[in-house]
Amino acid sequence: MSDSQQLKMGPLVILMINMFIAMLGIGLIIPILPKFMNSLGGSGETGGYLVAVFGLTQFLFSPLAGGWSDKYGRKKMIIIGLAIMTVSSVLFAIGHSLTMLYISRLLGGAGAAFMIPPMMAYIADITTVHNRGRGMGLLGAAMSLGFVIGPGVGGFLADISMRTPLYVSACVSGLAALISLILLPETLSLEKQLEFRNVKVKRDNVIKQFALSFRKPYFMLLIMIFTLTFGLTHFETMFPFFVTGKFHYNERDIAIIITVGALVGTVIQAVVISPLLNRFGEKSVIIGSFLFSAISLVLMLLSGNFYYVLGVSLIFFTATSLLRPAINTALSKMAGDEQGVAAGMNNAYMSIGNILGPALAGTLFKVHINLPYIFGAAILILSLGLALKWNSRGTQTTAV
């Protein structure tokens, strides 16, 4: 058993690095968006849309990528995704028009779509039902770290130049693609791939697949993925604008809060998620995490003291870091043999959150500076109600 686990750690580490890079790309541009908008004549509202379009192609390609990972293997899709994200970062770095920036972000969303569903299916391939929570937890730790540390890294690198974060992102993505090509083993046998390719059932288009997800037994979990992403993007997209406009923070303050919050939340997630799921089950972890994430958004409105904001941010990052692997683990257990398809729909719902969250947050921010956090908290409270009603029978993990 120990030998088997040891053999699986190599691929898992590579997957974690790749997931970190994918989610880093979403948040990396947030602290440099105001400068980009000023240099190109765009507005804050344009910046919100620029964040949101990443999710558009992520949504469109995710179900396809999930199915293709069943037909052609996980490794190929992951490498293709990393290559696309490398091109996306280069285009953004050299972009001198809003059109080029939009093209870059659209490509980045497609790259994330080709990466994330195959990674989640890969985890299902290399874990058992008993240790899948830990595998999803580690992958979720990398996801959360990348997603919330992106603005912090972007803020620090922007001290060198406005475009430095994008060049660094391109280099790291290219290196990750090369490492994956050389070191990442394929988990889906050729026989299994051919079996999926020979299935005569015509694959539905993305819209029909999305509609069919309403009848899946794990539909409620997909809704929770959406609301989690929606609330997280509400927090993250507006955070620099909120604390700058209301509390007069500078870029370094913003980078410190997000980076520290990301590190603490991710460490807690990586260490605590598996014991929590084994002891309390997915449903209890999901309920508690939604509750604390909603409360922290409201608390953010009450004081501008730096250490207070840091503490509240830590609560939010920890809660959302625990949420994603708990939901992903439950989803993987309910998906059965549909791991690729379920992972694709998971990413599609996350993409919708990445589209609607930043776009709506920017619009609400224009109406009132507090409104994005109030609305985000309301969505998370609604999610808490859904989690309380969700029938998690058959997904609970018990201690052994």
Other beta carbons less than 10 A from residue 297's beta carbon: 25
107 within 8 A of 22, measured Cβ to Cβ: no
CA distance 137 to 277: 10
Domain residue extents for the chain: 8-203, 204-391
CA distance 324 to 314: 16
124 within 8 A of 15, measured Cβ to Cβ: no
Q: What is the DSSP letter of 31?
A: T
Superfamily for the 8-203 domain: MFS general substrate transporter like domains (1.20.1250.20)
143 within 8 A of 19, measured Cβ to Cβ: yes
Among the residues of 158-250, which ranges form H helices?
164-183, 190-197, 206-212, 219-247
Q: Confidence band (pLDDT; 50, 70, 90) for 192?
A: confident
**212-241 exposure pattern, b = at least 16 Cβ within 10 A, e = fewer:** ebeebebbbbbbbbbbbbbbbbbbbbbbbb
Q: pLDDT for 303-340, tens place per residue? A: 989 999 999 998 898 888 888 888 888 887 777 666 66
Q: pLDDT for 21-76, tens place per residue? A: 777 766 677 677 767 777 777 666 777 777 788 878 877 887 788 778 888 888 88
Superfamily for the 204-391 domain: MFS general substrate transporter like domains (1.20.1250.20)
Give the pLDDT confidence score for residue 320 in this predicted structure: 83
CA distance 126 to 182: 19
Which residue has better confidence, 276 or 380?
380
Q: What is the sign of the dihedral through the CA atoms of 56, 193, 7 and 269?
A: positive
Give the pLDDT confidence score for residue 44 in this predicted structure: 60
The CA-based angle 117-122-124, given to 5 degrees, is 100
Give the pLDDT confidence score for residue 399 in this predicted structure: 35
Q: Which amino acid is at 323?
A: L
What's the rounded mean pLDDT across residues 206-222?
78
What's the rounded mean pLDDT across residues 130-150?
75
Q: What is the sign of the dihedral through the CA atoms of 351, 276, 298 and 24?
A: negative
Same fold, 8-203 and 204-391: yes
What does pTM read for this prediction? Answer: 0.69
Among the residues of the chain, which ranges form H helices?
2-27, 33-40, 44-72, 74-94, 98-126, 132-157, 164-183, 190-197, 206-212, 219-247, 251-299, 306-335, 339-367, 371-389
Cα 45 from chain centroid (whole Å) = 22
What's the rounded mean pLDDT across residues 191-217?
71
Helix (H) or strand (E) holding 201: none
Give the pLDDT confidence score for residue 189 in this predicted structure: 73
Gyration radius (Cα) of the chain, Å: 20
Given a cut of 80, is residue 391 above it in pLDDT?
A: no
End-to-end CA distance of the chain: 16
Other beta carbons less than 10 A from residue 288's beta carbon: 18
> Encoding tokens for residue 256?
């410190």
Q: What are phi and psi of 185, to 5 degrees?
A: -80, 155
CA distance 180 to 167: 20
Give the pLDDT confidence score for residue 204 in this predicted structure: 58
* Range with top average pLDDT, 123-127, 201-205, 296-300: 296-300
Q: pLDDT for 371-390, tens place per residue? A: 989 998 999 999 898 888 88
- Mean pLDDT, the chain, rounded, equals 80
Give the pLDDT confidence score for residue 203 in this predicted structure: 56
Given a cut of 90, is residue 298 above it in pLDDT?
A: yes
Per-residue CA distances from 321 to 49, 52, 303, 384 (Å): 25, 21, 24, 16
Q: Which amino acid is at 113?
A: A
> Encoding tokens for residue 241?
């604008």
CA distance 245 to 317: 22
Q: pLDDT for 166-188, tens place per residue? A: 888 888 888 888 888 888 888 87
